[in-house]
Amino acid sequence: MSNKPTFFFCKSAAQLEEGCTLSVRMEATGMWKPADILSIKTEGGKRQYYVHFLHFDKRLDDWVVEEDLNLSSVRFPRNCSTAKRKLADEDLPVANETMTRSQQSQLPQKSVDEINAIKNVQWIELGKHRIKPWYFSPYPQEMCAQPCIYLCEWCLKYVMNATCLARHLVKCNLRHPPGEEIYRKDTISFFEIDGRRSRTYAQNLCLLSKLFLDEKTLYHDTDPFLFYIMTVFDSRGFHIVGYFSKEKISDENNLACVLTLPPYQRLGYGRLLIELSYVLSKCERKTGSPEKPLSDLGLLSYRSFWSQAILDVLINQKYHDSENKITISINDISEKTSINIDDVIFTLKELELIMYYKSRHIVCVKSDVVKNHLKNKSKPQLRIDASCLHWVPKEWNSSKKH
């Protein structure tokens, strides 16, 4: 028997089942890409297929209809019976969608991972933004059954419809995240939230952020964390833009989760969140690193931040040795930037600045790298102004109740 995958021609989409792989049209680009069917449902008499595009991030997973499927070349799952594979060439009767309870109970139970693979929230409304979620988040089921979940943009409480939200807004007095404002410059502020003191807010924030972060498990216990919420101010109040969380007690990590909400992405806010995490580490006289794994977007932001911070140090380095060569150790770079040593080495390698010369590793900054760096720096950029930060590190003792 050959192990080569066999592709079948299907006459009807009714023959498809979960686990099939076929070419599917991507809504965003209109291009056809191979995808796996993760789930099938019938709504208004029409079958819909939840697909995951191979080699693409899960945020592109989506419900599609028959017109988006190319039935000319379908691979059936391995566990699919041979009889059914053969039938793929013939006409299959359309499955009867109404099942008795006993029939339903005979269906294989889905694992938590399988259920979490499917986006469960269609839309959220947050302040003036209506946002399409990227990933699964464990909001209560009755909320997910609604076409849209309405969030109070101040306390992040979630309700089922606009009427409930209007009723809540009459009572909700918050106009900023419920913590201390530790930074303000122009319209940008940061608020520090203690996950124990503002537990409900922190839990609501975790639920909201899970919609846009795939890798992180949700922290039901928010007590050990601090949350730094970035806001932009207008006449109505301080509107949430993004946040990062940080463990109160951690030797290595200066950041657990970081998120810029989609309406505010690509505007330099992500960089600002990362920069503040290092400025706080500097106040603590520590070096730090983000908790792994980083999301694809998270890694991009970090790589760009690290390169910039490290090149700043290398280019401004004033100390020269007797041969007029700049001397700086990896340790010095790490101390000056608060970026931990592993991330410094990773970045120097990425930039191809580490060279092996006369049986020593040396850092060699090439002129094109410098030119590129200075060009990027000349573009307007949001930066943390340390003089606008009012924050002193607290001692979180693990033996005491925090």
Nearer to Zn ion, 169 or 279 (CB): 169
Cα torsion at 318, 321, 323, 327 (round to 10°)? -70
Nearer to Zn ion, 157 or 216 (CB): 157
Q: How far is the CB of 261 from Zn ion (least distance, A)?
A: 17
Indicate if 291 belongs to the active site.
Answer: yes
For tokens 């028997």, name the residue.
1
By CB under 5 A, name the binding residues for Zn ion.
Answer: 152, 154-155, 157, 172
CB atoms within 10 A of CB 19: 14
Tell me, rounded to whole angstroms, the distance of Cα 323 from its chain centroid.
Answer: 47
Phi/psi for 399 (5° steps) reads: -80, -30
74 neighbors 22 (Cβ within 8 angstroms): yes
From the candidates 291, 323, 335, 395, which is the catalytic residue? 291
Q: Minimal distance in Å, beta carbon 235 to Zn ion?
A: 18
Q: What is the DSSP letter of 364?
A: -
- Short-list 122, 178, 171, CA closest to 147: 122
Laid out side by side, the sheet with 149-151 consists of 129-131, 124-126, 149-151, 158-159
Closer CB to Zn ion, residue 156 or residue 188? 156
Q: Which is nearer to Zn ion, 175 or 349 (CB)?
A: 175
Q: What angle do CA 205, 210, 212 make, to 5 degrees?
A: 110
Q: How far is the CB of 195 from Zn ion (least distance, A)?
A: 18
Closer to Zn ion by Cβ: residue 161 or 253: 161
Give the angle 366-372-373 at the CA atoms, nearest 5°: 90
Structure tokens at 377: 């720096």
CB of 264 to Zn ion, least distance (A): 20
Structural contact between residues 261 and 242, judged by C-beta atoms closer than 8 angstroms: yes
Q: How many CB atoms within 10 Å of residue 195? A: 24
**359: amino acid identity, one letter:** S
Catalytic residues: 291
